[in-house]
Every structure is written in C-alpha cells, then in structure tokens.
Amino acid sequence: MAERIGLVEATVKAHGDFAGGQSVPGLQPFLHDAHLSLAAPSLCASGPDGALRGGADGFYHGDRRVLSRLEAAVEAVPVVPIGAATGPEGDVVFRAVLRGLAEQTPDPAVVLERSRAVSPGRLTERYTVRNAGGRTARLRLSLSAASDLATMEQVKSGRPAAPVSPRTGPGEARWSDGAISGTLTLNPGPDEQLTGPDGTVTMAYLIEVPPGTTWHAELRCDAEHRDGDLFPAPPKATRWWSAPEVTGPDRRLAHWISRSDRDLFRLVLSDPLQPEDVFLAAGAPWYLTLFGRDALWSARMLLPLGTDVAAGTLRTLARRQGTAHVPATEEQPGKILHEVRRDEPAPDGTTSLPPSYYGTADATPLWLILLYDAWRWGMPESEVAALLPHAEAALNWMEHCADADGDGFLEYADSSGAGLSNQGWKDSSDGIRFRDGRPALAPIALSEVQAYAHEAAVKAAALLDAFARPGGEQWRRWAEGLRERFRTHFWTEDDTGPYPAVALDRDKRRVDSVASNMGHLLGTGLLGPEESARVAGRLTDAGDTADGGMDSGFGLRTLDASSAGFNALGYHTGSVWPHDTAIAVHGLARAGRAEAAGRLATGLLGAAEQFGYRLPELFAGYSRDRQSRPAPYPASCRPQAWAAASSVLVLQSLFGLEADVPARRLRHATRVPSGFEGLRVRHLRIGGRHFDVSADAEGRVEVHGLAGFTLVPVHATGW
C-alpha cells in the first residue's frame, strides 16, 4: 500500500511543480492565478485546480499557515481540471473530469467536484464524485495533507518552514507548535490512512459510484491560536454599511460595486479590546491585519454608505495611539501606528518589524481627516466628542514631532535602523526617487503628506470650533503657513511646465520625478485653482507615445513612463494602484475637473471588468494602447480593502457628493461626467438616513429622499 500511495504522490508533485511554478526558494510567491477564499482572519489560497501545493498556497489563520498541502488524486486516472466557479457567499467549486472512467461515448462521464468554504478559523471542503455515465465507476480517491505552520513573513519571503510532523488518529491529523494548532478531520472516515516520512498524511477512499449517482465526503480543518486571535472576526455578522443598488446603461460600475461589497464584508475584523468596533483588514493574503493608513483610507471611502466602519477604525487606532518616544518602534506621543502583527520570529531567527510599528508619516493626519469627514457624514456627535482628546494629541504630534528639523514640513526617517526606509504609502525602498532614477535619501518630506497635514489642520480647526475647544484659529494659521511654504519649496518645472515635486530630500532638494502622489494634493486645499489645473493636466496626460505619460488607460501609473526609473511592473515605480487613481478621481472632482475625473474613472472600470470586478492591490502599468487587457502584478493582494472600497469613492466622485450633516446640507454636482448619463444609485446613507441619486439622459443630477436637507448643486468649477 505504501508503494501505491508514494507513486500517486510523486506524480501529483511533479504536476504541481510544473503547473504552479511558484516554489522558488528566496523569491516572493506569485498570486496572479490563485483562487482565494476569505473570511478574515482566515483565508485559503490555491492553484486554479483547487490544490494546495507550495508557493503561497495554503489555509491560513491569523498570519499562520495551517495547511501547506492539500491535494486530491485518483489512482491510475487522469484528473483534468475544467474550471472553478465562485458563489455569492465566497464558496468556490472546483471541477475536474476523471478521464476514461465509466465512459461509453467521447463525452466525459465522471466529474470530481471540490467545494470549498472558509469561515473564521475553519476550512471546509466537500468532495463529490458524480457519475453521469452508463457504467459503475470504481476508483481510489486519495487526499494528501501537510502543514509547515509557517508565518506569513516566511511564506512571503519564499523561505517557508520545514513540514511539521502530525499526531494522527483514524480520519484525523493534528499539527501544533504550542502557539497555533490545526486539526483536520474526514467524514466519513477513510478506508486507508498513511503518514509519510515527510509528515504528509494521505487518506484514501475505495469508491463505487453506480450510474446516475453521487458519492460525498467532507474534510474540515479547524485552526486555533493558543492565546486567541490578534484581531478576531466580529462577534456577529451584521451590516456595517448599506449595500448600494446601481443601475444604468453601463453595468460595469454595478458589477464592481457588488463584488467589492462582498469582498469588503469578508475583510472585516474587530478590536479585541472592544469587539463592537470593526475595521477593514488591508488585504489578503499578505496584509490580513490592522494597517493604519489602509484602514483609514478604506473607511473614508465607505462614508457614503455609513459611518460605522469609520467610527470603529478611529477608535481602534485611538486605543493604540502613541504615548511615548520609543525609537525601536518609532512610537511618538500622539502618533497613529502603521501596522500590528504577532510577535513572531522571522525566517533568519530575528524579528522583522516590531509587532506594533509606528513608522508612517501619513496615518496621523489621515486619522484627523477621517474624524472630520465621518462627523460630516453623520457620526454621532457624542462619539466624535469622545475622540477629540486623541485629535488634540495628533495635532500636537504634527507640530512637535513630525517636523524633526524645524523647517515647517512633515518628514520621516527610519530612527531604528531596521524599519521602513520610506514611510508614505509608497513605502518600498525604491518608491521615492529622482527623475534620473536616483533614490531620495531621508529625512524625506512627501508632497502628499503636506497635503494631508494641511487638510487635517483646517478640518481639525473646524472640529475644535464646533465643539467649543480652543486652538481653531492657531491651526488655520498653521495650515496657511504650510500652504505658502509648499508653494515656495515644492514646485519645480520641466519642458511641459510647472508641477509639484514628489518630495524634498535630506538636503531640501526637490525630488523631481513626475509621480501619482500629486493626485493626492487635489481637493485638500493645499493648491490654488491654477495649481490644481496644472496637476490635473499632468495626471491625464497620456504622453507623446503609446508608452508615455501618467495615464495608462486603465488608471494612473505611480511614476511617469518617461522617468529613468520607470518599470511597468515596479511596485511603486510604474504600476497602477486602483486606490491611488480613485483618490485622484475624487480630487479632480473636488477641484472642479469632472471630465478629467470621468476619464480616469472609465479607465478603472475597464480594468475592473478584466479582473472579474475584483481589482487587485496593483497591476502593471502597460499602456492600454499596446495591451487591451491589464497585466497583473504577480504578487499582488486580491482582494485589497482600499482597491475594493475605491468603487464607492469613484461613485461618490461621479455625483460630487459632499456631506454636512451638522448643517443639514448635501452638496452634489450638477452633472455627471460624460459617459455616465443615466446612472442611478439607491441606498446611500447620510446621518443614518437612506437617499438616492440619479443622472438623467443628459447627465443632470437629482437627489431623492432627503427632505429636511438643503441640497447645494455645485457646477464644475470647484466647490
């Protein structure tokens, strides 16, 4: 029996190495063709045929891989995958034909179905053999499972751990290292069971399936951390935001919104310190935890659907707001953190980033902006008031900690020597560079961080005034001073004309690359009308050639294609990030550039359609003129929270919606951009009330269901 099982395993392993091509030691595994089932904090990533066989494949729970291998094989029968289908609840069914089995005609007769469902802490797979032939099918089905209990960092680095030996019983296998355990059970129990020398458990069924009948077995794998989940699934599934209903001549936006809604629902995590507070994990598989910047942007994008996620995100981050100067973690009083992970060793036996890491220059002003925007969309005033001491601490950080050299700009430098060298949203080591390709050296003052800080100061001043707290006038003066300093120090020029540099380096030189960061400046108040027009022109410039410019046709490139460091597959040096483009769409709309916003939004819709409406974290920045389908970035997360939530921000931008619940007002555009005529959206929310918006055949906007609110139409010349 050992020989038969070993032969099947060897055959499947050879097929897996050829088909997946992912298990290359020391390289980050690719994900672009993976099927991912998600229920945070758990997920399952597999190949297109449903098998787990190395690379990033696995069943994960709380950043640990509980199953690294799970394969199905039929002895002496070719198993040929014919496709996978995802249901509305995230379940996936993988189907394969068992070639030659019970066949009487050229038609396939026997199909193996592998139905997968993931819930927090549990993977369930139901195996079904269906015989539509005229003969009895006799087969030996074996299921092989193994675990390495690797950390997410080990998997991402391409250096996973060695397999862990299991404890087994009839129809059961258990893996544990004391910190996490995984238990696999089969029902009904198998006819044969064997544990190989490498720790692989193989369980086999001897099956007879008469014509017109089916056979079933269910596999379950339960995972549990000894000390509980770092961020658990919410105690009960509920609706934290409304589900918008989108109709119109172009159905792509409706499909994008619908798919994004389902993905976001499965990314929700809760704060164990207050389980009713929820936030969105950044993305799967690499970032299924709390990231300050990502959670804040995602919550902000969802505000037209409700304020519950925003409130939970604000409170979750406020509980972890910095209180002391700790160079090793880059914590400072009032600072909002970057990310939280478990305190686990890296592959080389050291630690990577600290488990609670504060190395981010932008999360703190973004926290202030979200607090204000959530208030304006209807977050209860008592909840806003409770967070004002945290807002004042954040403002104090901007004034006294964020500007280390006293030049009046927020800047960053890795103070630990082991943290992130770049600490804006483009946080890869080569993400900030000059036009000639040279990397910028820290301390670095990013352009968009100054824009966030300006917007945060103005909005915080309004909050302080509204809640009768001192300091409003001081922060308005501070914002105006920053605005003038930015105009003096950041603007540079090339043959096309003036534009804002992406950053200032340690010597206060303008980092002169033309980058998508400038899109984040629009609508923040940092730029004047003429400056906004210049930025809008740069963002929508496709360049002189099919490979030039910022606009790829599917969204904004992170770096202009004419730059020396441009790489269409560079993480932050030429790729397209949907959230980045959506932020530019919103900024263009707020700056009165509705048609430019509409063109970028149309590009994103084209990309969404090609990715099955589950837009990835990022994709390649190749030109649409040369390539009709966007190429994936192979290691990209999918889904990613802010990529999914971007669909709602685009929707908000098309209608120009800006809420002011305290004043009982809603601003809206007079017209939608060209191409979006006839669009209608139902079940938006403001101050706990539902309302609808629509555009007629000529694009004229109407708002429905807001009796008692003053509607303020705004023409495309800015707010």
Q: How confident is the model at residue 215 (pLDDT cuts 50, 70, 90)?
A: very high
The H-assigned helical ranges of 241-330 are: 252-265, 292-301, 308-318
Range 2-225: architecture per CATH: Distorted Sandwich (2.70)
| Mean pLDDT of all residues in 527-543 | 88
Dist. CA 695–CA 697, nearest whole Å: 7
Both structure tokens of 112: 């193996």
Tens of pLDDT along 422-445?
Answer: 999 999 999 999 999 999 999 999
Distances (CA, A) of 30 to 21, 33, 57, 635: 9, 8, 10, 4
**Tens of pLDDT, residues 78-133:** 999 999 998 877 899 999 999 999 999 999 999 999 999 999 999 999 999 999 99
State the DSSP string of 64-101: EEEESEEEEEETTS-EEEEEEEE-TTS-EEEEEEETTT
Q: Are 121 and 222 in contact (CB under 8 A)?
A: yes
pTM: 0.94
**Region 532-552 average pLDDT:** 79
Residue 218 to residues 72, 87, 113, 190, 702, Cα–Cα distance (Å):
13, 19, 12, 11, 52
Q: What is the percent of the chain where pLDDT is above 70? A: 94
Kindly report, residue by residue over 313-330, the tens digit of the pLDDT.
999 999 999 999 999 999
Cα within 13 Å of Cα(259), Cβ side: 23
Given a contact cutoff of 8 angstroms between Cβ atoms, the answer to whether 668 and 714 are in contact is yes
**136-150, 214-228, 703-717: lowest mean pLDDT where?**
703-717
pLDDT band at 404 (very low <50, low <70, confident <90, very high): confident
Categorize the per-residue pLDDT at 416 as very low, low, confident or very high, splitting at 50, 70 and 90. Answer: confident
Asked if pLDDT for residue 348 goes beyond 60, the answer is: no
Distance (Å, rounded) from C-alpha 706 to C-alpha 507? 53
From residue 609, how far is each of 34, 90, 618, 679, 702 by CA, in Å? 18, 19, 15, 18, 27
Q: What is the mean pLDDT of residues 240-253?
A: 96
Helix (H, G, I), strand (E, B) or coil at 389: helix
Q: Give percent above pLDDT 90 in the chain.
A: 89
Q: Given a cut of 90, is residue 500 above it in pLDDT? A: yes
The beta strands (E) that lie in 163-309 are given as 167-169, 172-176, 180-187, 192-195, 201-209, 214-225, 245-247, 268-271, 274-280
Residue 541's pLDDT band, with cuts at 50, 70 and 90, is: confident
Checking if the pLDDT of 7 tops 50, the result is no
Q: Is 533 helix (H, G, I), strand (E, B) or coil?
A: helix
Task: Assign domain 245-703 one CATH number from 3.40.50.970, 3.40.50.410, 1.50.10.10, 2.102.10.10.
Answer: 1.50.10.10
- The pLDDT-based confidence of 345 (bands split at 50, 70, 90) is low
pLDDT at 161: 86
For all residues of the chain together, what is the average pLDDT?
93
What whole-number distance in Å separates Cα of residue 553 and Cα of residue 540? 9
Judge contact between 326 and 353, C-beta under 8 A: no
Q: Average the pLDDT over 22-45 and give the result.
A: 88
- Write the secondary structure of 423-483 as one string of H (helix), E (strand) and C (coil): CCCCCCCCCCECCCCCECCCCEEEHHHHHHHHHHHHHHHHHHHHCCCCCHHHHHHHHHHHH
Give the residue among 694, 643, 597, 579 at the shortest CA–CA distance from 259.
643
Per-residue confidence (pLDDT) for residue 496, from 0 to 100: 92
Above 90 in pLDDT, residue 156? yes
Distance (Å, whole) CA 304 – CA 402:
31
Domain-wise residue ranges, the chain: 2-225, 245-703
State how far the alpha carbon of 60 is from the alpha carbons of 3, 44, 86, 178, 347, in Å: 31, 6, 19, 16, 17
Residue 13: is its pLDDT beyond 50?
Answer: no
**Mean pLDDT throughout 541-554?**
73
